[in-house]
Structures are given as C-alpha cells and as structure tokens.
Amino acid sequence: MRRLIPIVLLALLLLVGTLGASGTYTLYLPLVARSGTPAALPSPTPTVSPAPAPSPTLQPAPAPSPTPRPDAPPPTQRHRVNAPYFATQELDDRFPEMAIFWFGRVDRTNNYADVRVGYNDSELYVDVTVFDRRLWYARNPTRATLTDWDALTLFLDTGDTRHRFVAQFSHEDLPREPYQAAYRAQGSTWQVANTAFQSRPGWRGEGLNDDVDDRGWAMTFRIPFASLGLDQRPPEGTRWLMALRLDDRDDRAGTPIEPQFWPPAWQVDDAASWGLLNFGLRPSYTPPSTRNPQSFTLRQGLDGLTVPDVAVGGGTVCGDGIDFWTEWGHLPHHAGARDFNIQNQSEIADWPCFSKYYVTFPLDSLPSGRVVVDAKLILHQFGNSQPADAEPSLIQVFTIDDDWQENTITWNTAPLARENVGAAWVPVLPDFPGWPGVPREFDLSSAVAEAYAAGEPLRLALYSADSAYHSGKYFVSSDTEDWNAVARPTLVVRLGNP
C-alpha cells in the first residue's frame, strides 16, 4: 500500500524482480516514499501470463448510495469526479479504490499526473502521481517561491470559501512545514491562511537535484474537514469545485516550464472552467416507467456496426524497446491489437507499464423515441499479469467528450475523463480459461441514458487506481478475429416505450 512506515521495517518489504533482458535486475519497493539514496532504475520487467479457469466474479464492496441535494443545479463543469466515501480512518488502505482521473503529458520536459480522490468522516484525500524526468526541490524554501520548483497546488471552492493548498516536492526526510502553504481567497486576492492540512511526498529515481533522469514523484494532500469550518463530512451529493496546478523544474537554473492544469482551461474566476468534486459515487440509475422492453446488442461487426477501440500506454510489455521520455507517450503503438491491457500501480518507477483503454459505441442504430431501461458493458478477460502474485482490480469506467482516431491516438493525445460513471471488480485468472474468455460486466445504465437522450455515441475510457504490482488485466478487443467475435467488447441496451 502507498503509505509511509518506519524505516526499520523497510528491509522486510523488499521484493526483487526477475532478471531482465539486460542481465540486470529491478529492485521494487512496495512504497512510494523513499529514504536514503535510491538505486538505479532499469526498464520495468514486464510480467505476462500465458494465453489464459474462470474464477467467480467478485462483486464491488457495498458503497453508500449518494443522495444529491434537491437544490443542486445541473453541473456546468466539463470535468467531474465522483469521490467514494470510505468508513475507515486510514484512507491509504483504500488507495486502489479511489476515484481516479488524469491530466498532462509525458515527455522530456512536460509532466503527466494520475489523481486519486476519496474521503472519510474526517478528511478529503487527494493523491497525485507525477511522471517527471528530473526532480528538483528548494534546499531553503520560501513561501513566495514554492511553485518555482516541482510542486502541486490544490484549489477548492466549498461554495462560500475558496482555498488554495500549495505543496512543493521535497525529500521525505525533511520537515514539511517549510514546503507547504495555505491561502484563502479574499475578493480577487489570495491571503495567507492558517488552514491546517498535511502534504506527503514520495519519489523514485537516481537522486534529487541533479541532472540524471528519474521516474517521478507523488504528493498526497489530506485536508481535514474541520480545518474548512465543517463539523462533519459533507453530505453525499455535496458539490465543490476543484482544480489542480502542476509546476515543474528540471534544472538548477530554473529554466521556465509552463505549468499544467486540471481542468486544462481552468481560470480561477470562471466557475464553469473548474472541475466538479461530487461527494459520493454516482447515484444508481432509476429508469422512468416503461413498457415492452426490448434488448439490443452492439458489437463490432454485428449487423455491420463499427466499434473502434484502442489501448494507450505500455501494453503488456511495459513499453519495451522504446524510449520512455521521447517515444512512450507519443507513439500510437497499439492500433489494431487483438487484445488490450488495463493497468496502474502506486509504484511510480513502473509507470511505463500503465495502460488505459478507449472504446466508442455508436448509438444511432438504436430506435429513437424510447427510454433506456438499463445497459451494461461486457468485456471478456483472458488473462492477467503474473497470476501467482496478482490481486483483483477495481476497473473504472469514464465518459469522455472528444472523438479520437485509432491510428493516431497516443497516451499524450488521448481525451481526458469527463466523469467516472461505473466500476467493477475484475478478479485474477490463475490459468487461461479458454476462449472467448470470462465475461466481466459494468453497469453503465445512466451513462447510456445520457448519451442516448443527447443523440451522441457512447465514448468511454477504462482505467484503474490499482496499487499492487502485476495489476494488469487482459481483455479481448474489437480487432480480434471473427471466430472469436463473441468476445469483442459488447454493449447490451434495454429500451422500453415511454
């Protein structure tokens, strides 16, 4: 799990990877934070299961049903995150179940970030993992120059007050107070505030404040609700505005690098440009009264339908054979693949193994004038990374706004998530189950209802907030051969007459 523990226990948790093609070995630590001088980082060693006996489908852990406030207006924000509530004190333990979204790009200068969000009775938890080639922090930080170095700024608008939390990256052994600051908006200016919060850094690389390539860093924000003037957690369905700023420094001189934002077009004074933070998961879909329900199956090649799909990221081989900083994020190297991988980890050093999946279902073949009763996405799993050591994954589904082209989409150009709209636990397959694989279902009733009512295709992305090693889950794509067509990604929609 992604949490700090006493250094004396570190040796008990070391895991040594297998020999790679280079003849060197990869030393993996199941922590994000690091003490002492880091070891060198060879390319991650991919772990691929054989072409893959089905195991029982796991059900997601029960979650509270959010009840939107009756006075809440429809959101105008383009990017939204539905944060899960956890009835636990230690939110680090629920790291792989956090809501996740992403922004930025990975190359020699720019940074990419995965953001995980959740909350409990006492605090909001926001964790950001950053892919960054060079890691720099101030030896003698000042409040005014915190963002001149690698840093993250979290903006929150609770409805009556705007807050700004700045956290500069640093070595984890250093006290955090000099590296963080809180502000509160007063009119059009930001005033220093005594708002209590915690920031916790982590990193992976050769070393800090040098000109040697690293892998990246992380920052966890923990914002007590009490410090925001609340005497309890926000009721489910409460909506706040949220934004993030990511600052980067790659050399001692501080060569200017433009900061990156989520949402990308964020402007502090334009509420519509902020992201929307909703407390609680999306409410379960309740269809209106209908009659004569009829089921429709949408799949690549079925009745002439075209369902484009593609993966971006490291695939099943962790981007083997390409440069991680100049090629990994830029190359469309998965177009036409017959299968795809979905993978994430808390181990920053392994980001070349991370993989997302995109698929678009045209809905114009469905009869018009009906009402969506329910809808589900079916993917067929045939394997996973290193079954003996793997753990189940909570794979999340997101709607996206933008079209993409299978032959040109890359990690850096892939659309951002609009909203997390569903999730399902995908277990580990110990062996190959035979074709077509094991079906995994995702309830997407509300997302399909919205797309159908708007006359738009259903544009989806799938990703996970996994923490464990060997988290990759392998599925059949739209490009598989016709003999295995039933395994292609499938959308089953039931429509009724109003």
pLDDT per residue as tens digits for the range 320-337: 999 999 999 999 878 899
Q: Give residue-wise pLDDT tens across range 395-406.
A: 999 999 999 999
Predicted pLDDT of residue 317: 92
Where do the structural domains in the chain lie, given as residue ranges?
80-279, 291-497
Share of the chain above pLDDT 70, in %: 85
CA torsion angle for 306, 311, 316, 318 (degrees, to 10)? 160
Whether the per-residue pLDDT at 96 is higher than 80: the answer is yes
In this prediction, residues 393-416 reach a mean pLDDT of 98
**In angstroms, rounded to a whole number, what is the distance separating the alpha carbons of residues 133 and 481?**
40
**Token pair recorded at residue 463:** 């990703």
Alpha carbons 316 and 412: distance in angstroms, whole number: 18
Q: What is the 3-state secondary structure (H, E, C) of 407-446?
A: CCCCCCCCCCCCEEEEEEEECCCCCCCCCCCEEEEEECHH
The whole-number pLDDT of residue 333 equals 76
**Is residue 454 exposed (0-12), middle (13-18) or buried (19+ Cβ within 10 Å)?**
exposed
pLDDT of 417 strictly over 90: yes
Cβ atoms of residues 487 and 380 within 8 Å: yes
Spatial contact of 497 and 370, defined as CB atoms under 8 Å apart: yes
- Res 258 pLDDT > 80: yes
What's the confidence (pLDDT) of residue 48?
40
Q: Which residues of 288-305 are buried (b: 16+ CB within 10 A; e: fewer)?
A: eeeeeeeebebbbeeeeb
pLDDT above 90 coverage of the chain, percent: 83
pLDDT of residue 260: 98
Name the burial class of residue 48, with classes exposed (0-12), middle (13-18) and buried (19+) by CB atoms within 10 angstroms of its CB: middle
For residue 89, the tally of other CB atoms under 10 A from its CB is: 10
pTM here is 0.87
pLDDT in tens, 332-356: 878 899 999 999 999 999 999 999 9
Least confident of 72-86, 246-260, 444-458: 72-86
CB atoms within 10 A of CB 473: 28
* pLDDT number for residue 32: 38
Rounded to the nearest integer, the mean pLDDT of the chain is 88
Which contacts (CB < 8 Å, 24+ apart) does range 452-458 have?
452/363, 452/366, 452/372, 452/493, 453/372, 455/363, 455/364, 456/363, 457/360, 457/361, 457/362, 457/363, 457/364, 458/360, 458/361, 458/363, 458/399, 458/491
* Topology classification of domain 80-279: Immunoglobulin-like (2.60.40)
Given a cut of 50, is residue 36 above it in pLDDT?
no
Question: What integer pLDDT is reported at residue 248 of this predicted model?
Answer: 99
pLDDT recorded at residue 8: 32
Q: What is the pLDDT of residue 334?
A: 86
Output the pLDDT for position 18: 32
Output the pLDDT for position 72: 53
Mean pLDDT throughout 83-98?
98
* Cα 349 to Cα 27, 31, 98, 280, 479, distances in angstroms: 10, 11, 20, 31, 31
pLDDT digits (tens, 9 = 90+) for 426-483: 999 999 999 999 999 999 999 999 999 999 999 999 999 999 999 999 999 999 999 9
- The whole-angstrom separation of Cα 41 and Cα 26 is 7
Sign of the Cα pseudo-torsion (278, 443, 424, 261, in order): negative
pLDDT of 318 higher than 50: yes
Report, as an integer, the average pLDDT of 412-422: 98
